[in-house]
Structure 1
Amino acid sequence: MLQNASIAIVDDEPDVLSMLADALRRDGFEVVCCASAADLDDALDTGAPDLVVLDVNMPGEDGISIARRLRATRQLPIIMLTALADTIDRVVGLEVGADDYVTKPFDPRELGARVRAVLRRARLMKETQPAERQDAVPQKARPGAVACFGEAFLDLDARCLVDRQGSPMAITATEFELLSTFARHPNTVLTRDRLLGDAAAHGASCCDRAIDIRVTRIRKRIEVNPTRPQIIRTVRSVGYVYVPPG
């Protein structure tokens, strides 16, 4: 059950930390409060939470640095906390791989809804991914179950991205949803509005810039030359088109 999930909250402001914890506990979540990156590392050593709510602006190691470090070593859902006016924080947070963000001041109901949405996507990916990845080699997949994205293959049934050797590649739940939309519509120009609509349907908060950031992150994994993309191409002023390799 999502309500039994463990949430680690990282914020250096005691009042905000307490308010966040109270809001999530009312929603039935177990909460671990962390006032710094060091506190979070201690919490991770004792048992990995199901999701991290991470403030951007903190003394010492800030939220962006923590998110980048977590994304490099763990498949752990991350929601960033940013100030309402700090668009750059939201953009950078998405660039380092955050799954979503919540702006301060926040509505406790919105926070709970965002947490549940990210947990649902992450749990679905975890539950549907096989324990052993021998069957992830693209050539052995069932017809139609795998879409080729250049240097990688999207396994639609196992909900994961694998390289040419069949090894899983790091990908967030929202990035998977974006790739699956492309896979369902090859050689079709998809507008940003269309991609935003699909993201919203899966509970992800998005904007035009967020779509662009996620496409950029995906290109770094799948394109031979991400600066000259051939698989997911930009259609200027419109959106993107997925061109399967010939």
Structure 2
Amino acid sequence: MTRPLVTILDDEPEIRTLLADALEEAGFDTLSFSRARAFEAALATHTPDVCLVDLSLPDSDGLTLVHRLALEQGAIVIIISGRAQVQDRVTGLELGADDYIIKPFDPAEVVARIRARLRSAKPTPQAGTVAAFSGWKAHFDRYALEDESGVETPFSHAEGEVLRLFLDAPKRLLSRAQMQSSLGGVASESFDRAMDVRISRLRTKLREDPKNPQLIKTIYGAGYIFLGDVTWS
């Protein structure tokens, strides 16, 4: 069985070594980088399953990099940062990160969170990787929405997690508590804000009328319902 590949981008050598040792002992392969430029160059030849990204990089804005990774790569993106302010966490999640871990951290917790994210991201054999609904196709193998004319719009891994929840349970009410449990998040204001942003972006990509969405309906005080008929292949 192929070992999942985790890339580590952090300018502190002690952090890189700590994470690499813990992950390799837990059964992961790792590649470590101290600069964003070297990390981005490596993406041309390597396809990571998970990207661990520090926000305070000497040669790049970490948040911009997170956003680009979320849109262009199929990898799970986890921020590891010394920035503990709620707004930093909210911004990171809004830009497409799947999780946010604050320094100092326990390496065992990082390993556990990575495993949880990989489990939630793994497609079930019954569901397949392509969902057709209301003139759209969602390609989870390449993170793209395809309209009836064949035009594709990319979505982030974080947006894909939410979309998959809806497509796996069409015409059923999903409460925020259910979504939080399925996505491995922690009930908090920042989680709720991140969910609102992801759903808003999905509606935009599905060309929904924000005042009267036809596919992803908000049931105020209860949760959300996806109203399309879904077939998987």
TM-score class, shorter-chain normalisation, is 0.7 to 0.9
Q: Structure 1 vs Structure 2: percent identity of aligned residues?
A: 34
CA apart distance, 1:228: 5.3
CA apart distance, 1:84: 6.4
- Structure with higher helix content: 1
CA distance 1:11–1:155, change in 2 (3 Å): closer
Pairing 1:107-146 to 2, within 5 Å after superposition: 107-124=106-123, 128-129=128-129, 146=132
CA distance 1:154–1:66, change in 2 (3 Å): closer
1:30 pairs with 2:29: yes
SS in structure 1 at match of 2:123: helix
Higher relative contact order (CA 8 A, sep 6+): 2
Pairing 1:128-167 to 2, within 5 Å after superposition: 128-129=128-129, 146-148=132-134, 152-154=136-138, 161-166=145-150
Decide whether the 8 Å contact of 2:70 with 2:158 is kept in 1. Answer: no
1:212 pairs with 2:196: yes
> What is the match of residue 180 of structure 2?
196
Please tell me the residue identity of whatever aligns with 2:55.
V
SS in structure 1 at match of 2:202: helix
CA apart distance, 1:111: 0.7
Match of 2:207 among 223, 233, 238: 223
Pairing 1:87-102 to 2, within 5 Å after superposition: 87-102=86-101
Separation in 2, partners of 1:47, 1:184? 30
Please tell me the residue identity of whatever aligns with 1:32.
L
Q: Tell me the number of residue pairs that the alignment of Structure 1 and Structure 2 aligns.
A: 225
CA apart distance, 1:55: 0.9
CA distance 1:58–1:86, change in 2 (3 Å): farther
CA apart distance, 1:48: 2.9
Deviation by residue 1:13-65 (Cα, 9 ceiling, x = unmatched): 22222222222122122221111211212322343333211112223312211
Separation in 1, partners of 2:94, 2:162? 15
> What is the match of residue 142 of structure 1?
none
Instruction: State TM-score, norm by structure 1.
Output: 0.73
> What is the match of residue 21 of structure 1?
20
Decide whether the 8 Å contact of 1:125 with 1:158 is kept in 2. Answer: no
Deviation by residue 1:53-87 (Cα, 9 ceiling, x = unmatched): 11122233122111222234332321111336322
